[in-house]
Structure 1
Amino acid sequence: MGVSLRDVTIREGAQMPGREYGVDARVEAGEALDRLGVDAIQAGFPVVGETDREAIRQLSESVDADVVGLARARMGDVEAALDADADVIEVIVPTSERQLEHVLGESREAALSMAGEALDRARDGGAAAHLTFVDGFRTPTDRLVDAVAAFPSVPTITVADTVGARTPDRVRSIVSDLCERMDGDRLGVHFHDDLGVAVANTLAAVGAGATTADVSVAALGERAGNAALERVVVADAVDGAGDCAAAVDRAELVPACRAALDALGESVDPRTPVLGDAVTTHESGIHTAAMLDDPGTFEPFDPATFGGERRLVFGAGSGRGSARALLSAVGVDPTEARVATLLDRLAERGPLDAAAATALAESTFETPD
């Protein structure tokens, strides 16, 4: 069974403090994500305002992915999503006791009734209707199963770890239990990264039977963010079943994610996994010497597989092994004296990329005829 990846970058990112993504930025980001091949793009919360609605309208005309508008279990929210021409209206309703009491102020029965009416209106208006259980992972499994049973015609029901409170073993147990008691093909998951395990939770949930996963570029989202799209894809490709990685065009991963970030005016720390420049740049002497022969010696994956680029850097941090490898590559006998000379030159001129460092080695010594 394949996995459906739904991108929530735009909607979740816009909920971070100080963010105001305009229509053009959302459309540009959504089109980049569409090139990647995600199944759905959550472009906004239509009831919030015209920016969200217009972005959804434009994206629904320009992308192949389903464009999703979020709606609380309220008629006004659903009408706003219908007005925005959302392909999918995702109705959200709390299921945990805390959220029912302090957010919705309604009983469980009333909440599910409200959700049912909202879903009916979405379908009547011509949209596909999906459902998300807010704070679902802090809801007893028996009650989740009962809630799922109340909506037999909803094709995707997502259980959300709304406050990022769960860890992989617990997630695996809950999802396995749910899949034994409901149709796992309908089960989606949504994780926040408050404990730093949203990616691991997503992979655990998919491994346990969930077939839809919400992801966000560079983990953009409120508080600590969401499961990072690029990390889910790469981790699954490197050490998983490959279902998440198969859901998108791997060669477009890094370019599409960076294009989406650029469109939204977001950046990442150089050490950010997968997307950061530093994570595929190597200068350590031990590393570069070995990687000139076999790049996989000190990399978990080939960056080019995902549209990225490896950089070997030579400078003050380069060791004797790197210098010997550079000299050998240009046909110069790597004597100890020549190695020492080249290391001095690299320290003076570096950091240099592999091509420039090779040229320096060649120009420093006369090569044999």
Structure 2
Amino acid sequence: MRLTDVTLREGGQMPGRSYTADQKVAAGCELDRLGVSVIQVGFPITGEEDREATRRLAAETDAAIEGIARAVPGDIDAVAEADADRIDVFAPLSAGQLEHVMDKEYGEMLEIIDDAIDHVREYGLPMTLTLMDAFRTDPARLIEAFERFSYPAHLGLADTVGARTPGYVESLLEDLSSGGVDLSRAGVHFHEDLGVGTANTLTAAEMGVGKADLSVANLGERAGNAALEEVVVADALAGESALDVEADELIPVCLEVLEILAEDVDPRKAVLGGEVTSHEAGIHTAAMLEEPSVFEPFDPAEFGGRRDLVFGEGTGRGGARKLIERAGGEPTDEQVSRLLDRLAEAGPLDGTEATELAAEVLDG
């Protein structure tokens, strides 16, 4: 499955955000290190910052640089004039969006999309057609779209408001496949409004979709998008290796992107948060000194991160014994008690500091 990173575009649409061209270029170059296929920079029709960032990144990255556009000639022109490598044109076919957003009839919208595709073809740009609100669109309309629109390499199916769950995603994709749709030509774009965007993406991957939109740390409108780092780690744990990325720099790259964009990361954020790979509970640390995997789902080092074992007031007797053994001693009950007292006073300490303290206890 190919990945399109939408951090720069979706993150920039969050309230109060205004990423500069320099920020987007610096963050985009970091994302390029991961080997994602496409980096979606922004919406060139909206202003010079997005046009400049698109132009500069297209000249610097191995990843294809993508701009988005409505099915409107001026939007498409702006993407092409910004020297983007490819374009994502978005338009709805759902009854609700056609009536309340576009004020268009279904047949009229199909013709508008036809014209937009013809306009893109004049530029020779590789293209994705993203169908907004696709997961609330009549499946028959989606099947017709795949049959009618042959030029776009992928038709993106967007859960625009994050309204669906994995069971529905699987059911809809099964309906499309039964209707003759080659799911390798489908892309997906999920939001986290119900907290299942990542799960939806993984479900779609298992069904054979060819492309997914993801963002670092869920950055994106409202609750954000499916998280790049979560999908990559989950894929690796499943042993699928089905993603087109190099994962060994995943965590440092994501954290660097967040720093460049001046975005915070919650310490308990899955994969990226500092507390996710920190352990202090006595039972945990005692066991993890021997075998870390017993209390963690993945080795953070595989993704460029690290684990932190923290010792202090919460350290139990088993952990204290392990520390004394690591310091070269054979622990006695009295030494364990003294070390626990010292840890309660000096902690929290990392593993090296705690081992040094254990050595002091051994020395008397």
C-alpha contact 2:13 2:220 (8 A) present in aligned 1: yes
> 1: CA distance between counterparts of 2:221 and 2:35?
24
> Residue by residue, what CA displacement relative to the aligned partner does 1:175-207 show, whole Å, maximum 9, x if unpaired?
122233212221100000100000000000111
Provide the C-alpha distance between the structure 1 equivalents of 2:182 and 2:198, rounded to a whole number of angstroms: 23
1:37 lines up with 2:46 in the alignment: no
Measure, in 2, the Cα distance between the counterparts of 1:253 and 1:26: 18
The match for 2:165 is 167
Structure 1 stretches of at least 4 aligned residues deviating more than 6 Å after TM superposition: none
- Matched length: 363
Is the partner of 2:65 in helix, strand or coil? Answer: strand
1:91 and 1:129 in contact (8 A); partners too? yes
- Decide whether the 8 Å contact of 1:68 with 1:89 is kept in 2: yes
Cα deviations by residue, 1:257-290 (Å, 9 ceiling, x for unpaired): 1111111111111000000000001111100000
Tell whether the 8 Å contact from 1:119 to 1:130 is kept in structure 2 after alignment. Answer: no
Equivalent runs, 1:1-369 vs 2, <5 Å: 3-180=1-178, 181-239=180-238, 241-244=240-243, 247-366=244-363
Partner of 1:158: helix, strand, or coil?
A: strand
In 2, distance between residues paired with 1:333 and 1:128? 67
Identity score, percent = 54
Question: For structure 1, which segment, 161-170 or 173-182, has the greater mean C-alpha deviation from structure 2 after superposition?
Answer: 173-182
Please state how far the C-alpha of 1:153 moved relative to its aligned partner: 2.2
Shift of 1:115: 1.4
Amino acid at match of 1:207: E
One-letter identity of the residue aligned with 1:252: E
Unaligned residue ranges in structure 2 (runs of 5+): none
Which deviates the most, 225-234 or 100-109? 100-109
Q: Any idea what the Cα deviations from partners look like across 1:54-77, whole Å, max 9, x if unmatched?
A: 110001000011111000011111
Distance in 2, Cα, partners of 1:240 & 1:148: 31
Answer whether contact 2:117 2:151 (CA < 8 A) is retained: no
Rounded Cα–Cα distance in structure 2 between residues aligned with 1:32 and 1:294: 33
Shift of 1:127: 1.6
The separation in 2 between residues aligned to 1:304 and 1:102, in whole angstroms, is: 49
Contact 2:335 2:361 in 1 (8 A): no
Shifted more, 296-305 versus 177-186: the winner is 177-186
Q: Which runs of 5+ in 1 are unaligned?
A: none
For the residues of structure 1 that align with 2:302 and 2:177, how far apart are their CA atoms?
Answer: 33
CA RMSD in angstroms comes to 1.1
Would you say the 8 A contact 2:67–2:84 is kept in 1?
Answer: yes
